[in-house]
Amino acid sequence: MKSDSLKINTLGTLKFISFPKLDATNMVANAFSTRFGGVSEGIYESMNFSFSNGDKEENVRKNYEIICSALKVEPQNLTLSHQTHTDNIRIINDDDIGKGFSKPRDYDDIDALITNIPKVCLVTQFADCVPLLFLDKEKKVIAAAHAGWKGTVAQIGLKTVNKMCEHFGCEPKNIIAAIGPSIMQCCYEVDDPVIDGFKKIDYINLDDIATKKTNGRYMLNLTKANQLILEHAGIKTENIDINDLCTCCNADTFHSHRKTNGLRGNNAAFIALK
C-alpha cells in the first residue's frame, strides 16, 4: 500500500491512514482503518468495526480499543452513526456521547455526525463508500459523513457543510476536509439509474466524473464527485485531502463489499477534537 496524498501510520501490527491537512492543524485525532492490527478472524480479518456483519462482539470491541489506544481516544467517547445511505445528519450533544458503543443508540438512519464537544470521537463505517471528514479550525467543529453513490447524489457533503454553518456559525473557507479511501473509478462500474442521479446535479459535468463503456455502462469516480461537491459548498481545493487508494484494488488492505460480494467486515473513519 502506497499513497501520494495520505499518510500511512504503523504501530506494531496496526496500520491506519491519517489525513495530512487534518494532522497539520494538531487539533484532531483522525484515522481511516485498514485490515491490519485487529483480532478478528476469517472474512473479518483482522481489523473489523462492524457489530452487525456476523463477527464476534468481543472481537469488534477489542478492535475499537486498539484503535482508540493509538489515537489516544477514550472508548466510552466513541459515538457511532447508523448508516442507511441517506442524507440525514445528527448533531451530537452531551447526551449522545458513547451511543452505538458504550451505551445504546436511540437514533436510526444517520449518515453524518457533527459535534463541537472535545474528546468525542465520531465514527462512520465503510466497505467501498466514500468517507468524508471535516474540521472547522476556527469554530472547533468536526463532522464525519458516509457518502455512497446515493449519499453523493444527495450531496451529503454539501449538506454537512451547510449544517455546520447553520448550527455552529462555521464558514466554508475555514473548513479542512478529507476524502478517504473508497472504491475508485478503475473498479466502480455502474448503470444508468446511478448515472441519472448525477445528471441532476447541475454544477457537475458528467464527463468529469464518469466514462462510458462500450457495454453502455459507466465507470464512476465517486472521489471526484465528492471533491466537486465540497468545492461547491465553498471549501477551498487546497483545504481538501483527496484520496488515491482504491479499496477494491486493495482488498487485502481494506474491506471491500464489491470485491468480496459482501463477505467482509467494515473499515471505519474516526475524528475527535483534542
Q: Could you tell me the CA-to-CA distances from 172 to 140, 142, 235 in Å, in that order?
A: 13, 12, 5
> Model-level pTM?
0.98
State whether residue 50 is helix, strand or coil. Answer: coil
Domain limits, the chain: 7-183+240-273
The 3-state DSSP composition of the chain as helix, strand, coil percent (nearest 5) reads: 30, 30, 45
Nearest CA among 109, 114, 93 for reference residue 157: 114
Q: Three-state SS string across 216-251, please? A: CCEEECHHHHHHHHHHHCCCCHHHEEECCCECCCCC
Mean pLDDT for each 10-residue chunk of the chain (274 residues)? 96 98 98 98 98 97 98 98 98 98 97 98 98 98 98 98 98 98 98 97 98 97 98 98 98 98 98 98
Calpha distance 183→173 (Å, rounded): 28
Please report how the helices 156-168 and 222-232 are oriented relative to each other, as an axis angle in degrees rounded to 10.
30
Is residue 227 a contact partner of residue 196, using CB atoms and an 8 Å limit?
Answer: no
Lookup: cell for 232? 461547491
Which pLDDT score, from 0 to 100, does residue 83 have? 97
CATH fold label, 7-183+240-273:
CNF1/YfiH-like putative cysteine hydrolases (3.60.140)
Which pLDDT score, from 0 to 100, does residue 1 have? 87
Rg over CA atoms, the chain = 17
Q: Could you tell me the CA-to-CA distances from 229 to 71, 84, 151, 250 in Å, in that order?
A: 29, 20, 11, 26
